[in-house]
Amino acid sequence: MVKGFQTLEDQDNIDEVETLGPFICTRSDAWLGHGYYLWDTNIQWAKDWGYHSYTKNDKEFIIASCMINIENCFDLFGSVAHQMELISAFEAFNESNKLKHNHRRILPNIIQYLKKKGIFEYKSIRACDNTNKIIKLHFSKNHEREEYMLINQRVQICVIERKDVILRPFTVIFPEKYIP
């Protein structure tokens, strides 16, 4: 179980958000395909997304939270085995000439292909993207060795199937004016 945060436009409909949310993303550029996108554990990522997506466009935003069951998750962040599965799928996809290298949506196309073939039975996907806030924690002083660990990786969970994955309650927790 992890805590998830969804950033939404503030439309002064908190009761509706808490009753019906989280809400699905069906945008054509959804990087993991269609699903319910939530930030994993770190509310600051949800706030950053709100400032970037809403505040800069003169809109207000809210953040709601719930627990997410990641038992049946294609975990590209925490599972080396799942990362290796993705590499194999990518290679097979590439060899079959189904991959268009100039296409922006490679990952969701691979996932959709695996779903159609009946070999993707996960209810969610967990992955990190590149952001300038990733920290390289070096294992030596003055960076004399090239070994380091990446920390503060921004992680999202794309829930494909809500049932038994998104757990109630879904509660608005930001901004403070909505907290009882």
Whether residue 64 contacts residue 72, with contact meaning beta carbons closer than 8 Å, is answered with no
pLDDT tens digit sequence for 4-46: 999 999 999 999 999 999 999 999 888 899 999 999 999 999 9
CA distances from 138 to 80, 112, 130, 153 (A): 21, 37, 18, 15
Residues 6+ away with beta carbon under 8 Å from 174: 43, 46, 47, 62, 63
Q: pLDDT band at 82, cuts 50/70/90?
A: very high
pLDDT tens digit sequence for 33-81: 999 999 999 999 999 999 999 999 999 999 999 999 999 999 999 999 9
Task: With respect to residue 82, please indicate whether it lies within any of the assigned structural domains.
Answer: no
pLDDT in the model for residue 97: 72
- Residue 174 sits in which domain range? 2-77+123-178
pLDDT in the model for residue 99: 64
Task: With respect to residue 72, please indicate whether it lies within any of the assigned structural domains.
Answer: yes
Which residue bears the tokens 């930030």? 39
Number of domains in the chain: 1
pLDDT in the model for residue 102: 55
Share the mean pLDDT of the chain.
Answer: 88
Task: With respect to residue 91, please indicate whether it lies within any of the assigned structural domains.
Answer: no
Task: With respect to residue 14, please indicate whether it lies within any of the assigned structural domains.
Answer: yes
Task: With respect to residue 128, please indicate whether it lies within any of the assigned structural domains.
Answer: yes
Residues 6+ away with beta carbon under 8 Å from 85: 74
Task: With respect to residue 157, please indicate whether it lies within any of the assigned structural domains.
Answer: yes
Q: Is the pLDDT of residue 142 over 60?
A: yes
Task: With respect to residue 110, please indicate whether it lies within any of the assigned structural domains.
Answer: no
pTM, whole model, 2 decimals? 0.87
pLDDT in the model for residue 105: 67
